[in-house]
Amino acid sequence: MNNANLEPYSQNINIGEVLVEGPVNTADLEKMYMNEGLKSFRPADRQKEALLKITALPEGMIYVARIGQEIIGYLTFHYPSKYSRWSKHPRVLELGGIEVSAPWRKKGISTALLQKAFTNRVVEEYIVVAIEFCWHWDLRGSGLSLLAYHRMMINAFKKVGLMKRATDDPDILEDPANVLTARIGRNVSEEDILLFENMLFENRQDLKI
């Protein structure tokens, strides 16, 4: 991770014995291990490898919730995939994933991760997008319906200014439950904001936004 992404003036958050901190550098992350319940995207050991790769990216940022050296939740930032529509925008940063291990849910940890991440002044330089695919949602473990989980995600993101946006992005249209949220940083130029607004509907040029 580029040192420019470090935010030394933002205090870490404690929820009981859980410490929420970041951005975490590669050396510190290597000393930690993943709770086995962190498997929404891939098995825990492979997810650890994925997090380490993100810390090596110039724009990559990882926030963790941990007990000792055990990670029980995390949040990631990185540039959008080159296959994504949003990779064509120079000021878009993707909130790539947020996950909390099942035994630690409903304790405010996901909210703390979001709050910690969005105190970093770096996010004010970007349009942050979160692209949520419903097939990654743990409906069985949460006990929520698809609609209830959808609402929960939107409400959680809204707390840090990530607002639901309509779009014709094929990734979002693949399932009605998928959702795009976005937050425009304070220092993003009007030109970059306009470009983002125009990119929301690339395939329906006659649609008024």
pLDDT tens for 179-201 read 999 999 999 999 999 999 999 99
- Domain with 139, as residue range(s), is 3-199
The tally of domains found in the chain comes to: 1
CA 163 remoteness from chain centre = 13
- Please report, for residues 27, 60, 79, 136, the alpha-carbon distance to residue 70 in angstroms, rounded to integers and kept in the order given: 15, 21, 27, 22
CATH value at residue 13: 3.40.630.30
> Region 118-126: what's the mean pLDDT?
97
Q: Is residue 209 part of a domain?
A: no
Q: Is residue 205 part of a domain?
A: no
Q: Is residue 86 part of a domain?
A: yes
- Please report, for residues 54, 76, 95, 130, 207, the alpha-carbon distance to residue 79 in angstroms, rounded to integers and kept in the order given: 10, 10, 9, 11, 28
The pLDDT > 90 percentage for the chain reads: 77
Q: Is residue 108 part of a domain?
A: yes
Render pLDDT for 45-104 as a digit per residue (tens, 0 to 9): 999 999 999 999 999 999 999 999 999 999 999 999 999 999 999 999 999 999 999 999
Query: What amino acid is encoded at 1 in this protein?
Result: M
Q: Is residue 207 part of a domain?
A: no
Quote the mean pLDDT of the chain: 90
What pLDDT does residue 203 have?
Answer: 80
What pLDDT does residue 10 have?
Answer: 53
